[in-house]
A and B are shown apart, each in its own frame.
Chain A
Amino acid sequence: MSHLLTIEPLGQTIEVAEDQTILDAALRAGIWLPHACCHGLCATCKVQVSDGEIEHNDASPFALLDFERDEGKCLACCATLSSDVTIEADIDEDPDAEVHPVRDFNATVVELETLTPTARRVVLELDADLSFQAGQYINLWLPQIERPRAFSLANPPSQSRRVELQVRRVPGGEATGYIHERLAVGDTLRLSGPYGRFFVRRSAPGSHLFLAGGTGLASPLSMIVDLLERGDTRPITLIYGARHRAELYDDARLRALAAQYPQFAYVPALSDPLPGDDWEGVTGFVHEVAKAYFNSDFRGHKAYLCGPPPMIDACLSTLMQGRLFERDIYMEKFLSAADAAQANRRSPLFRAL
């Protein structure tokens, strides 16, 4: 039996199926609610139930404390409805956020390419157009693997039938192991999307700065190509870091873009080049290279961060000491269960970082 869900402050009412979570229903209706881990661990999706009854299901007792349950808070990613319900969500209207309803797709693997010893490009042909905003991600189901996995879309939104994923092999990872070892051209998979709130603030003044490491390149690639296709003439800088030459992929593609568009500066950086790499570019970690490149003054930028947690962490400190603060820094967070447990040690100083 389905129930009606009213989402304040939008005042919009949607239908929610039995066993469907509030978050899933909202995203599928094109209403974005804050969320991150989607498994009841991180509490990003905490909302206030102002009317009606819900079930908390798998919400972690660490993410949703007892007193918050008493106050009528719930985690939208876990909560299901037992009656018609009204929730109040802390939704800030962002002029640059686009609304794209989440849909299910059937996808066929049309291209597989080894990018580096640990990264693989997967190109999928969809059975319908996927409209999304550059920077968003999809959930991909793999055979015999229970939960879907999230992957950023590396293609620009203009390319809506052929989607590109760049998949790093996680040591011991079940899903990424499957993609690297067993996935073959012609396989069909199920995916849903788009998800995520990582996008370029185009209406804000200032230059664009992308800091990427490893397969964190996927979202920035989509965002940069999208900006260039739209004719954005403001300076765009991408600092892209890898350990050594073999780990640096899509280098030729990015050099070609930089040659074609004068507003786009591409700065590849190797932290630990091998003797045989003949590396003539800059050497160092992404944050070190960024600091030197901008002489530790990042004012006037919007920065987008994508990469492994230590890189993000180092870049945040570098940006803030270069006078760029939380309101101008954006990043996508993928949380594993282990990450969420560690997050308890953080202070509430920053809201989104």
Chain B
Amino acid sequence: MSTPTSAPKKLGLREKYARMTRDLAWEPSYQPKDKIYPQAGLEGIKIEDWDRWEDPFRLTMDAYWKYQAEKERKLYAIIDAFAQNNAQLNVTDARYVNALKLFLTGVTPLEYAAHRGFAMVGRAFPGAGAQVACQMQSIDELRHVQTQIHTISHYNKYFSGFEEWRHMHDRVWYLSVPKSFFDDAMSAGPFEFITAISFSFEYVLTNLLFMPFMSGAAYNGDMATVTFGFSAQSDEARHMTLGLEVIKFMLEQHPDNLPIVQRWIDKWFWRGYRLLTLVAMMMDYMLPKRVMSWQEAWEMYFEQNGGALFADLARYGIRMPRHWEVSVKEKDRLSHEAWATFYNYGHAAAFHTWMPDESEMAWLAEKYPASFDARYRPRYEHWIAEERAGRRFYNPTLPMLCQVCQIPMVFTEPDDPTTTCYRESHYHGEHYHFCSDGCKDIFDAEPEKYVQSWLPVHQIYQGHCGGGSVPEVLRWYRLEAGRDNLDYLSSPDRQNWQRWKGEAAAG
């Protein structure tokens, strides 16, 4: 350990940061370094000098605690006030709460997975700068999980479908989409994990996750969720910067890293994009008051901001992620295809589904002039008529899932939005099915990994999910039939809401 010399004046941010972090590193003498950090070399990434790591943010641990404590204090004051004022009654409509159910079961467990993942890769990296950055992010993520659970727990007192979020995350069919996304990253090596989560997800795509949920909360009167959103987002700036630094560091360390990094960017762009399907439908269908359409968000956050980023990355020889142009072709259909799927399977979902009303359809038609009236409105009008005739449609068969993203194979051909897209690969005598060329490419590059996927539909058919009938599977999900699932129109949530708000029960 070096002895700090007395400083004549206040240390600069950079110096202070170096003193507080770099002395944590030392040359080991009992064991060779490659035995202490055995995973650092497994993926083919070559690092010549860890000291070249530029700390993407200069926040020392002592300052970190100070900032975070202040954020917590503010957040909990607001959550308390929210609870005392029964502010759950101020949201626009009880339908909004279903977006929170999706967030709590789908996103909050990912924050916990990120906490574990960053702790793990922080241990795996040999450089002190990377270790400290990962350590802070790991603690951030733990804070995010806790604040989200605490904030949303208030809704659990008044609405159904919240209490088994953690159990559901591991079992419910559509929640295997976010769960398998993170499991895929965690079971990769440390460099791929940090590319997947810090760069592709936190940097390229996080605005598309947080902005819709948090602005959605603001527009719909949920100030508690807005506050945990702001609190978490104040950390996101650091996480996003880490994502950029990681990519630059790998690309600058050795030219052999370029093709590996490009392959990961290709893969994790597509994995992240497919995961955002759930967000797309939330934006366009689940918010009673809408913020912006999925198409607008994709144009702003990916086509414009992402385009500027990839223009800068081109200096390193990185190109746009593969199949990005498919994401642009799909932008006026993604949310509609997803919501139609959930409407079909609303009896097996842990939140309520519904058909948009006439004013909402008018909004959709305005936002999607080229696609909504032509392709999706007629289907919805048919379903509304069926429902009014007492035949609310639920699809009784189980869908085929994509082997990689685990989403039902409901997406359409990039150049033909009326034909379902099917792709397949053959591996060791078995057929594997994919929703897209993007997912097929991912499988073909690492088939041994994805043949092991735990696909909910396969598992049900193999009898691993509590039994062969829908009631048995729902019980295994801990999803209370008739209360947590089915159409919003028939839900206890809606009846309670009308009672609380003094609204006349609609026919």
Which residues of chain A have a CB within 8 Å of any CB of chain B? 8-11, 90-93, 316-317, 320-321, 323, 325-327, 345-350
Q: Count residues of chain B with CB under 8 A from any CB of chain A.
A: 24
Contact call A9/B312, Cβ cutoff below 8 A: no
Min distance, Cβ B347 to any Cβ of chain A, angstroms: 44
Contact call A9/B315, Cβ cutoff below 8 A: no
Decide yes or no: A90 and B313 within 8 Å by CB, A347-B308, A349-B248 being known contacts.
Answer: no
Within 8 A of A (CB), among B19-62: 54
Set A320, A326, A327, A347: member contacting B311, Cβ < 8 A: A347
B9 at the interface (CB under 8 A from A): yes
B369 at the interface (CB under 8 A from A): no
Contact call B12/A91, Cβ cutoff below 8 A: yes
Most buried by B among A11, A317, A323, A325: A325
Contact call A11/B9, Cβ cutoff below 8 A: yes
A348 cross-chain contacts in B, Cβ below 8 A: 241, 244
How far, in whole Å, are A348 and B240 apart by their CA atoms in the complex?
A: 10
Most buried by A among B12, B15, B248, B315: B315
How far, in whole Å, are A350 and B308 apart by their CA atoms in the complex?
A: 12
Decide yes or no: A325 and B252 within 8 Å by CB, A320-B316, A348-B244, A349-B313 being known contacts.
Answer: yes
B54 cross-chain contacts in A, Cβ below 8 A: 327
Q: Which partner residue on chain A sits nearest B8 by CB separation?
A: A11
| 11 pairs, A vs B, C-beta closer than 8 Å | A9-B9, A11-B9, A11-B10, A93-B12, A320-B315, A320-B316, A323-B252, A325-B248, A346-B308, A346-B312, A349-B312
How far, in whole Å, are A345 and B252 apart by their CA atoms in the complex?
A: 24
B463 at the interface (CB under 8 A from A): no
B468 at the interface (CB under 8 A from A): no
Set B13, B304, B309, B311: member contacting A9, Cβ < 8 A: B13
Q: Which partner residue on chain A sits nearest B54 by CB separation?
A: A327
B317 at the interface (CB under 8 A from A): yes
Decide yes or no: A8 and B10 within 8 Å by CB, A323-B255, A349-B248 being known contacts.
Answer: yes
B244 cross-chain contacts in A, Cβ below 8 A: 348-349
Instruction: Bits for B2-21, please: 1 = Cβ < 8 Å to A, else 0.
Output: 00000001111111000000
Q: Which partner residue on chain A sits nearest B308 by CB separation?
A: A347
Set A90, A317, A323, A347: member contacting B305, Cβ < 8 A: A347
The 3 nearest A-B residue pairs measured at CB: A347-B309, A349-B312, A347-B308
Set B11, B241, B315: member contacting A316, Cβ < 8 A: B315
How far, in whole Å, are A94 and B406 apart by their CA atoms in the complex?
A: 52
How far, in whole Å, are A321 and B315 apart by their CA atoms in the complex?
A: 7
Min distance, Cβ A61 to any Cβ of chain B, angstroms: 18
How far, in whole Å, are A224 and B170 apart by their CA atoms in the complex?
A: 65
Q: Which partner residue on chain B sits nearest A67 by CB separation?
A: B230
Other A-B pairs, 9, CB within 8 Å; known A317-B314, A349-B309: A9-B9, A9-B12, A11-B10, A91-B12, A92-B14, A323-B255, A325-B252, A346-B312, A349-B312
A349 cross-chain contacts in B, Cβ below 8 A: 244, 248, 309, 312-313
B305 cross-chain contacts in A, Cβ below 8 A: 347
Decide yes or no: A10 and B9 within 8 Å by CB, A316-B315, A317-B315 being known contacts.
Answer: yes
How far, in whole Å, are A9 and B315 apart by their CA atoms in the complex?
A: 34
A347 cross-chain contacts in B, Cβ below 8 A: 305, 308-309, 311-312
Instruction: Bits for B297-310, please: 1 = Cβ < 8 Å to A, else 0.
Output: 00000001100110
Contact call B11/A350, Cβ cutoff below 8 A: no
Q: Which partner residue on chain A sits nearest B245 by CB separation?
A: A349
Q: Which partner residue on chain A sits nearest B249 by CB separation?
A: A325
How far, in whole Å, are A323 and B312 apart by their CA atoms in the complex?
A: 15
Q: Which partner residue on chain A sits nearest B12 by CB separation?
A: A9
Contact call B317/A321, Cβ cutoff below 8 A: yes
How far, in whole Å, are A320 and B243 apart by their CA atoms in the complex?
A: 19
Min distance, Cβ A237 to any Cβ of chain B, angstroms: 21
How far, in whole Å, are A237 and B500 apart by their CA atoms in the complex?
A: 79
A323 cross-chain contacts in B, Cβ below 8 A: 252, 255
How far, in whole Å, are A207 and B313 apart by their CA atoms in the complex?
A: 26
How far, in whole Å, are A223 and B11 apart by their CA atoms in the complex?
A: 31
Contact call B10/A9, Cβ cutoff below 8 A: yes
Set B255, B308, B316, B317: member contacting A345, Cβ < 8 A: B308
How far, in whole Å, are A57 and B12 apart by their CA atoms in the complex?
A: 29
How far, in whole Å, are A92 and B312 apart by their CA atoms in the complex?
A: 25
Contact call B309/A92, Cβ cutoff below 8 A: no
How far, in whole Å, are A320 and B255 apart by their CA atoms in the complex?
A: 11
Min distance, Cβ B256 to any Cβ of chain A, angstroms: 12
How far, in whole Å, are A317 and B316 apart by their CA atoms in the complex?
A: 7
Q: Which partner residue on chain A sits nearest B9 by CB separation?
A: A11
Min distance, Cβ B92 to any Cβ of chain A, angstroms: 25
Contact call A92/B314, Cβ cutoff below 8 A: no
B248 cross-chain contacts in A, Cβ below 8 A: 325-326, 349
How far, in whole Å, are A325 and B245 apart by their CA atoms in the complex?
A: 13
Q: Which partner residue on chain A sits nearest B10 by CB separation?
A: A9
How far, in whole Å, are A345 and B54 apart by their CA atoms in the complex?
A: 24
How far, in whole Å, are A11 and B248 apart by their CA atoms in the complex?
A: 34
Min distance, Cβ A342 to any Cβ of chain B, angstroms: 11
Contact call A350/B10, Cβ cutoff below 8 A: no
How far, in whole Å, are A78 and B37 apart by their CA atoms in the complex?
A: 50
Q: Which partner residue on chain B sits nearest A325 by CB separation?
A: B252
B9 cross-chain contacts in A, Cβ below 8 A: 9-11
Min distance, Cβ B105 to any Cβ of chain A, angstroms: 31
Min distance, Cβ A11 to any Cβ of chain B, angstroms: 5
Contact call A9/B11, Cβ cutoff below 8 A: yes
Contact call B308/A90, Cβ cutoff below 8 A: no
Min distance, Cβ B300 to any Cβ of chain A, angstroms: 13
How far, in whole Å, are A90 and B59 apart by their CA atoms in the complex?
A: 13
Min distance, Cβ A5 to any Cβ of chain B, angstroms: 16
Q: Which partner residue on chain B sits nearest A348 by CB separation?
A: B244
Q: Which partner residue on chain A sits nearest B314 by CB separation?
A: A317
How far, in whole Å, are A312 and B32 apart by their CA atoms in the complex?
A: 45
How far, in whole Å, are A350 and B316 apart by their CA atoms in the complex?
A: 12
A350 cross-chain contacts in B, Cβ below 8 A: 312
Instruction: Bits for B315-342, please: 1 = Cβ < 8 Å to A, else 0.
Output: 1110000000000000000000000000
Within 8 A of A (CB), among B251-289: 252, 255
How far, in whole Å, are A140 and B235 apart by their CA atoms in the complex?
A: 44
How far, in whole Å, are A316 and B248 apart by their CA atoms in the complex?
A: 15
A10 cross-chain contacts in B, Cβ below 8 A: 9-10
